[in-house]
Structure 1
Amino acid sequence: MPLEPDLYPDPDRPDDATVAGGPPTEVGAGTLLGPGGTGSDATTRSGGPSVGVVVDTGVARLVAEWEANNRPPADLRDYLPDTDAIRRAALIELVMVDLAYRWIRVRKPKRIADYCLDFPELLAGPIPPELIYEEYRVRRLSGEEVRADDYVAEFPEQAERFAWLLEHDPRSGDAAPSALPAGAELQVGERLDDFDLVAELGHGAFARVFLARQTAMQRWVALKLSRNVGAEPQTLAQLDHPNIVRVYDQRVLEDRRLRALFMEFVPGGTLLDVVRSVRDTPPERRTGQLVLDSIDRQLSRKGVTGPGESSVRDELAMLSWPETVAWIGLRLAEALEHAREQGVLHRDVKPANVLLTADGIPKLADFNVSSGDTVAVPGSTGVVAGSLAYMSPEQLAVSAGGTAGAAADARIDTRSDIYSLGVMMWELLTGERPFPDDENPAAALERRRAGVAETIAGRLPDGCPPALRRVLLTALEPQPDRRWSTGRKLARQFALCLDPRARDLVDPRPGSRRSAAVRWTLPIMIVAIGVPNLLATAYNYYYNRETIIRSLAPVAQESLDQVHLVIGLVAFPLAGLLIVWWCRLAITVPRKVQSGGSTDAQTLGRARRATLGLGHRSVVVAFTMWLVAGLVYPISLQIVAGGIPSGAFTHLIASLAVCGAVAVAYPYFILTFYAVRSLYPVLLSHGEIHSDDGRDLRVLGVLSTRYLAVAAAVPLVGVAGLSFAGATGAGHVEVTVRLLCLGGIVGFIAVYQLFRRIEADLRALQRVVMLG
């Protein structure tokens, strides 16, 4: 009988490896050596994979020997490494390979106890449950009658992990026999402790779940009966979140050798029921009401009375189908974030594990609680939790039987749950998963590593907003570091999909004018800053010439014209260079990421801040130049003309005030409107949203209000200037000032409209950014 494909190392590979050093890991058949050098299979809750030394375990040489000669090796010691610190870990790997060949290939069986007699160092620490499980598995594959319950009884210390491996190994299929104790043979209608069993909700190899009535508390509960091993209740009790099934307490029934874990009863069925309804419903008829109809059918089957008035149901019924998917996804992402904060991964996110309340609120259930928030996965025959169709590439890499050296680089953290959530939300949206169903983990891994095919992405419903498409595709990125890194950040993205203004702002339709405008940042800045400043310069020159310079000698007038020209030729280019340098990230980064270029998170954060400050930074430079000009011009008058009458200073100050206000207010609102509508959304759609963005948005809102006051001052200062113009008796100056007042009023109306648009956009973005 040939060995199963992809379960053992390729004999053509030059070496095989395990990792020595660092904390122990939980997943994988290989064993990591702790600081003391002894093997351990204990759970790790570390923040990342251990850093160790990669060494030869001899597994590849053993496989090559078996394949070449098809007979047991003379002595496994010949394949063990010389390094004492990793000898036991390597021995365990060798034993697992030797077991499979002996039982399946040549029918010369050998048990773990026999290996322990040959190698007493195996008893230097607890026998790894992965090794125990591997013996059980290969014995069954060889055709021998073997009961999981016998292994659970023989190895009580490893019973919980053994049970978990048996239930979650994708290779085991449905053939796993029940390992429940005899005390679990209960029937509906019986009473168990304080619980009346009303209906059986489900069963597996190691647990049965009943709908029960707790008489002491007079409430319905879901009662899970299993062996009294492990710390599942203590771990689940940490998870107190509205979108996670609540664990109330447990009872240990010693006489029956059972543990009764009673939890919140969620009667509305599962998301799998909804997915089935989606498949039977044409896309144009899918709305939030579809979820409610599925729930009502489940309530009717269970004989549960539906809710009365419910604001949640009313909200859900009004949503389009893409909005319904985002609504559910947001709540599940928040649940994953809460679990992550408690150091727990789910690792089996799928529709069947999402329960629905009568109101339609989704709740995550069936956490695989034996993991921490990050799991390193070494070993060539590791088994990780999860359903194959929803597994992330890094989970599949272990299930597909990667080498120890390759698997040592893998990390399973919350991004793996986010990937599974992305698959589930895609299936909920379309009725089908983004990848074909592959029974072979290796084939499934190859498909996932290639990413979502464009042909598959093109099947999204016509009404799917670009924002939701982007969010799901990012969640399904093959590389973990390109996905949303936490549940909270994913929740913010789903919240954006639920806000019509925000989602259309951040993800405009392809080919829209706002998208095209990103390529024209520098010309837009030149026009937005240059035109108001040129007009202000022209007004300033004309006003001062008519009120001050005209009264001077011709020679002085000519000299002051030259001063005007020099100031303009120096100030405009210098201001332009300073603005481009200070706003360089806002000019270059949005265009780069829109064109598909990659930018690190830190640069993206700085670019978002620079983009929101585009208008403010530009006008600060421009106003500074006007202040400098306001100092240089009187000094020039003093030098060239020998001074001016004291009354002329009033005209000088008035003209500078008006010109400064024009140079500040109008460019600010034009550039800020452009930045918020075109540039900033590009950076949000290509990066993660942070709480710092909320602060920057609030600051921009305050600044905009202040600049609005400056814009309002333009016509007011002009009105004040009319009295000065009238005092001089210069009629043509008075006409110019009146035109300024009229233009200032029209300009303020236009600026106020931009202000209202900017304010609405900022509020929409703040609603998304400040979530959580």
Structure 2
Amino acid sequence: MTVAIEQTAAWNVVAERLEAFIAAWESGSEPALAPFLPEASPTLRRLVLVELVKVDLDFRIRSGRAARVEDYLADHPEIADAAGPPVELVCEEYHLRKSRGEGIDLAELCGRFPGRAAELRRWLAGTERTITTSLAADIVRAEFQPGHTVDDFHVLAEVGRGAFATVYLARQISIGRIVALKVSGDRGDEARTLAQLDHPHIVRIYDQRRLEAAADRPRMRLVYEQFLPGGTLAQVVDRVRRTPARDRCGAILVEAVREAAASSGLGLASDSPTLAASARTSWPAVVVRIGIQLADALAHAHAAGVLHRDVKPANVLLGADGSVHLGDFNTSSLASHPAHGPAAYFGGSLAYMSPEHLEAFDPGHERSPDELDGRTDLFSLAALLAELLTGRRPFQDAPAGGDVSGAIADMLARRQRGEHTIDVAAADPAAVALAELLGECLAADRECRPGSGREMARRLALVGQPRARGLLGLPRGGWRRFARARPFVAASACMTLPNLIMAIANNMHQRRIIDASYATADLAPRHADALRAFHVAGAIVNVIVIPLAIWIGWRVWAGIVPRLRGTAPPIDAAELERLRRRTLFCADRLTWIAVSLWIACGVGGLILFAAQVGWPPLPMRWLFLQSASVCALMAAAYTFFLVTLLVLRSFYPALLDRATDHDDEAALVAVGRRSGWYLLMAGGGPLLTMGLMFLLGSDDRPALVLLTCAGLVGLAFSFWAHGEIGADVAALITAGRPANGAVTESRSRVAVRRDDSWRP
């Protein structure tokens, strides 16, 4: 918390010096700048100096004097660098003179300050705006005491004070509502925009009012919003920093909320089930829950066209139940101007900014603030969550020294090199998974980050689900990557292997049937002819059936393979959903196609056999058909299990859009239910064969032993595959539900038993 204390102290110094300087001007004197400069760090001293010059320019120009930025350089050369005075000072002169109707244009400024010409063109070209960059416009020292009435509000207590705003707990008299009343300078129009955002994890802004200037105070803005008594995440981060890693758990959040609520004088309901559940939750699970809620809030704001631009712990408020609420959106275009670089540095915002956001702060960089998108906020959220998880900021930025611009350049270089550190215990798989995801969200290239808040929320929800995370993650190698690259080859292997094994078994069994049937004295002379006819019939059947099976298999996968390989054109969500469900049913289609081909082969082979040597004895016909049928059922069951595992672990995840929810639960449940029927088929086949052999009086003991052993092996595989399919289906169903971060503790325990994981 030392950093936050230093930032608050710095803001107070700026505000105090500016207030004193303004008071000196208003008293009728023309104060010099030097007496108001702090004996502090060069960075803070320069920030105060620049802001004092802005105020001095304002008073002089408003009084009709000819004041220019160059007038200050002789007495205070530290204002300028090799390129000239700060671009914000030049723009402030432009704003002040333009506001008074003076003839000033971009060409004049570029001629006076050629070293800043490129930056000035970025700021001022093609616009007539005259927005002030002075921090003094934001400084309001509201001094309302408990019991005072301000407009429609009865002040109850002061709950927060900064250099540029004061927050009170108040009661809105007209409707008796308790609100947080934020009193600040009257600049910008963020409240009007944010009042349109209605989300459970965004601070609800009810409305705003303006107080006209009076003798004892300047013009003020009153923004009244939802009151949240649990403090901010900055207080939680402070507790995390002071708590050893092995002792961190949800109790940290509970204690911070209780302490903040107690200080507000409102107390806290001790029987809050949500807060009680948080106390028993692991710390990574708490961080994930907070991350899901904030990512969903950002997704809502981004969908409304609003960027936050200032996601940091101090801007996340906590409810009495431990829920998080995003506040203090920095929606104005001025928030991304380089003039606010020093301000952002002391406010702590730069530490959470993405590389492209830092580039937008750099006046010499081509990137415009308008180029920022929602992925900028996601980077900041990831930095916040990393600090919340470990107690340390992911980027160990050096102090600014005397040059904020240099510090920003160093920050940008560090982020572009990917020099972030998120230290977690290797023995905690959840923390490791969370750190990996946050590291991805901190990528310098925003194309490598999650594309939306919704996608980030979904991926955070997978942190506590190792099976679902493994299924939905991009395969980095192994058979899953091979299967996605060559889906038809992988699917063909899953179909061929069980059918080939059962074909060999069927062939061996039918040869024994021929040997036994032609062992009698009257049929023994025809034994050699029967074997030859058996092989010829098998060869003819295989020549016909194998190409047919390949063609049918290709037709089944034809519409899916291009999508898996990424070569198909984009399709809408509804069509993609239909394709997923079709993929989930492919195993059944292939299974019953295989059964049909097996039966056709059995009947056709017997007919071809009879065409060569005549019809065999009736018991042999029944045994032939019984062998082919049972092998067909067992091959079908094994084919279903292998193809279904391939689909669930490789094909189906590749067809999911990770940024949106999917409603495939019914289709996935049906897969699990059908798996049970195929398990019965796999176990019933050998039992049926042995029953028929006993009924037909077979004394082929070796065949019975072989069949029993093979059946047990197949049944063991089927049990294993059935269990894996059930677990995969459960994980995919859970992962497909909306990620809202509001799962109860009892549901978490159910998820642990089913998936050896926790769910946030």
Equivalents in 1 of 2:458, 2:569: separation in Å?
Answer: 20
Contact 2:630 2:688 in 1 (8 A): no
Identify if the C-alpha distance between structure 1 residues 583 and 215 changes in structure 2 by more than 3 Å, giving closer, same or farther: same
**Which of 134, 143, 154 pairs up with 1:196?**
154
Equivalents in 2 of 1:702, 1:102: separation in Å?
Answer: 64
Find out whether 1:705 has 2:673 as its counterpart. yes
Find out whether 1:286 has 2:252 as its counterpart. no
SS in structure 2 of the partner of residue 322 of structure 1? helix
Equivalents in 2 of 1:116, 1:486: separation in Å?
Answer: 46
Find out whether 1:664 has 2:636 as its counterpart. yes
Aligned residue number for residue 328 of structure 1: 290
SS in structure 2 of the partner of residue 201 of structure 1? strand
SS in structure 1 of the partner of residue 372 of structure 2? strand
Given the two structures, how large is their TM-score scaled by the length of structure 2? 0.67
Identify if the C-alpha distance between structure 1 residues 599 and 464 changes in structure 2 by more than 3 Å, giving closer, same or farther: farther
Aligned residue number for residue 754 of structure 1: 721
For 1:555, the aligned partner's letter is: D
Aligned residue number for residue 395 of structure 1: 357
Aligned residue number for residue 52 of structure 1: none
Which deviations, in whole Å up to 9, do the C-alpha atoms of 1:627-674 show, x marking residues without a partner? Answer: 553464245235434556777665444333212221121243245446
Aligned residue number for residue 177 of structure 1: 136
**Which of 319, 326, 329 pairs up with 1:367?**
329
Q: CA deviation at 1:700?
A: 4.4
Identify if the C-alpha distance between structure 1 residues 371 and 318 changes in structure 2 by more than 3 Å, giving closer, same or farther: farther
Identify if the C-alpha distance between structure 1 residues 423 and 621 changes in structure 2 by more than 3 Å, giving closer, same or farther: farther
Aligned residue number for residue 214 of structure 1: 172
Contact 2:661 2:738 in 1 (8 A): no
Equivalents in 2 of 1:114, 1:217: separation in Å?
Answer: 43
Q: CA deviation at 1:265?
A: 0.9
Contact 2:240 2:390 in 1 (8 A): yes
How do 1:697-736 and structure 2 match up within 5 A?
A: 698-721=666-689, 724-725=692-693, 728-732=696-700, 736=703
Equivalents in 2 of 1:536, 1:219: separation in Å?
Answer: 75
SS in structure 2 of the partner of residue 324 of structure 1? helix
Contact 2:672 2:729 in 1 (8 A): no
Equivalents in 2 of 1:452, 1:585: separation in Å?
Answer: 44
For 1:281, the aligned partner's letter is: T
Equivalents in 2 of 1:104, 1:370: separation in Å?
Answer: 20
Q: CA deviation at 1:757?
A: 3.2
What root-mean-square deviation, in Å, do the aligned CA atoms of Structure 1 and Structure 2 show?
5.2
For 2:352, the aligned partner's letter is: Y
Equivalents in 1 of 2:338, 2:143: separation in Å?
Answer: 38
For 1:315, the aligned partner's letter is: A
For 2:206, the aligned partner's letter is: Y
Aligned residue number for residue 443 of structure 2: 477
Identify if the C-alpha distance between structure 1 residues 564 and 436 changes in structure 2 by more than 3 Å, giving closer, same or farther: same
Find out whether 1:417 has 2:384 as its counterpart. no
Identify if the C-alpha distance between structure 1 residues 295 and 680 changes in structure 2 by more than 3 Å, giving closer, same or farther: farther
SS in structure 2 of the partner of residue 435 of structure 1? coil
How do 1:264-343 and structure 2 match up within 5 A?
A: 264-343=226-305
**Which of 428, 435, 442 pairs up with 1:463?**
428
Identify if the C-alpha distance between structure 1 residues 585 and 291 changes in structure 2 by more than 3 Å, giving closer, same or farther: farther
Contact 1:322 1:464 in 2 (8 A): no
Aligned residue number for residue 564 of structure 1: 538
Equivalents in 2 of 1:632, 1:691: separation in Å?
Answer: 50
Contact 1:212 1:222 in 2 (8 A): yes
Which deviations, in whole Å up to 9, do the C-alpha atoms of 1:226-281 show, x marking residues without a partner? Answer: 45565433322222222111122334445765442211111111111111111111
SS in structure 2 of the partner of residue 307 of structure 1? coil
Equivalents in 1 of 2:163, 2:154: separation in Å?
Answer: 23
Aligned residue number for residue 658 of structure 2: 689
SS in structure 1 of the partner of residue 222 of structure 2? strand
Which deviations, in whole Å up to 9, do the C-alpha atoms of 1:36-91 show, x marking residues without a partner? Answer: xxxxxxxxxxxxxxxxxxxxxxxxxxxxxxxxxxxx9xxxxxxxxxxxxxxxxxxx
Equivalents in 2 of 1:201, 1:600: separation in Å?
Answer: 56
Equivalents in 2 of 1:664, 1:234: separation in Å?
Answer: 64
Q: CA deviation at 1:180?
A: 5.7
Contact 2:295 2:454 in 1 (8 A): yes
**Which of 733, 738, 755 pairs up with 1:771?**
738
Count of residue pairs the alignment pairs up: 614
SS in structure 2 of the partner of residue 117 of structure 1? coil
How do 1:111-130 and structure 2 match up within 5 A?
A: 111-112=97-98, 117=103
Equivalents in 2 of 1:233, 1:299: separation in Å?
Answer: 25
Find out whether 1:352 has 2:311 as its counterpart. no
Aligned residue number for residue 495 of structure 1: 461
Equivalents in 1 of 2:106, 2:253: separation in Å?
Answer: 59
Which deviations, in whole Å up to 9, do the C-alpha atoms of 1:730-767 show, x marking residues without a partner? Answer: 322x8746864675466445423432332123212321
Identify if the C-alpha distance between structure 1 residues 506 and 308 changes in structure 2 by more than 3 Å, giving closer, same or farther: same
**Which of 388, 402, 410 pairs up with 1:443?**
410
Equivalents in 2 of 1:380, 1:264: separation in Å?
Answer: 32
Aligned residue number for residue 241 of structure 1: 199
Contact 1:505 1:681 in 2 (8 A): no
For 2:536, the aligned partner's letter is: Q
Equivalents in 1 of 2:174, 2:500: separation in Å?
Answer: 82
Identify if the C-alpha distance between structure 1 residues 580 and 322 changes in structure 2 by more than 3 Å, giving closer, same or farther: farther
For 2:460, the aligned partner's letter is: F
Identify if the C-alpha distance between structure 1 residues 674 and 311 changes in structure 2 by more than 3 Å, giving closer, same or farther: farther
Contact 2:161 2:167 in 1 (8 A): yes
> Which moved further from structure 2: 497-506 or 524-533?
524-533
For 1:664, the aligned partner's letter is: A
Aligned residue number for residue 262 of structure 1: 224
Aligned residue number for residue 77 of structure 1: none
Which deviations, in whole Å up to 9, do the C-alpha atoms of 1:258-317 show, x marking residues without a partner? Answer: 442211111111111111111111111111111111222222333331222122112211
Equivalents in 2 of 1:403, 1:309: separation in Å?
Answer: 54
Which deviations, in whole Å up to 9, do the C-alpha atoms of 1:339-362 show, x marking residues without a partner? Answer: 122222111100000011122111
Given the two structures, how large is their TM-score scaled by the length of structure 1? 0.66
Which deviations, in whole Å up to 9, do the C-alpha atoms of 1:584-616 show, x marking residues without a partner? Answer: 9999999x99xxxx99999xx999999978966
Identify if the C-alpha distance between structure 1 residues 436 and 572 changes in structure 2 by more than 3 Å, giving closer, same or farther: same
Aligned residue number for residue 62 of structure 1: none
Equivalents in 2 of 1:198, 1:692: separation in Å?
Answer: 44
SS in structure 1 of the partner of residue 136 of structure 2? coil
How do 1:131-146 and structure 2 match up within 5 A?
A: none
Segments of structure 1 that go 5 or more residues without pairing to the other structure are 1-71, 73-96, 123-130, 139-154, 167-175
> Which moved further from structure 2: 338-347 or 632-641?
632-641
